[in-house]
Amino acid sequence: MRKVMVILPAVALSVLGLTSTAQAEQAPGCSSTVQIGSTGYVKKGSTIIASVKQFKGCGKNWAYTYVWDSWAAKPGSFSSSAEMVVNGRRDLSSTVNGTNDQDVWSKGTNTLTKCTRAYGEVWGDGNVYWGQTDERC
């Protein structure tokens, strides 16, 4: 019996719901962002439903939340948010919320000289789930 390997392009995998990582990681209005620190995860029980990352670029820090395909494909709507935590306190002025948006970027904060972490939330089934990255000083 002869084995045939089929390589599917990323678009086909996405349509099939087999991908779970973000492809575009560029803050709005800033083309030179780089991830700093580890990736955090938003979980419902033991199931990961979103990734949370912190980026720096253009003189600012940015929080980024990516809702995984498996959660986004569920019936009904969902909401997600991204915001910065600065010196241990949530910076509500950086918060950006999205409805049915898999990619959500916070507003950039002028906090490169402070201790920061990215914070993200996902909700839509009557509960709020959250996750955050490690703190970077």
Assess if residue 46 is contained within a domain: yes
**What is the per-residue pLDDT across 2-47, written as a single tens digit (0 to 9) for each?**
444 444 444 444 444 444 444 457 899 999 999 999 999 999 999 9
Q: Which domain holds residue 102?
A: 21-132
3-state secondary structure of 88: coil
Count of the separate structural domains present in the chain? 1
Q: What is the mean pLDDT of the chain?
A: 87
Where is average pLDDT lowest: 3-17, 72-86, 92-106, 123-137? 3-17
CB contact at 8 A, 99 and 79: yes
Assess if residue 5 is contained within a domain: no
Assess if residue 54 is contained within a domain: yes
CB contact at 8 A, 121 and 129: yes
Q: pTM of the full predicted structure?
A: 0.82
Q: How far apart are CA 131 and CA 24, in angstroms?
A: 20
For residue 104, is pLDDT > 90?
A: yes
Q: Which of 89, 78, 76 is nearest to 115 (CA)?
A: 89
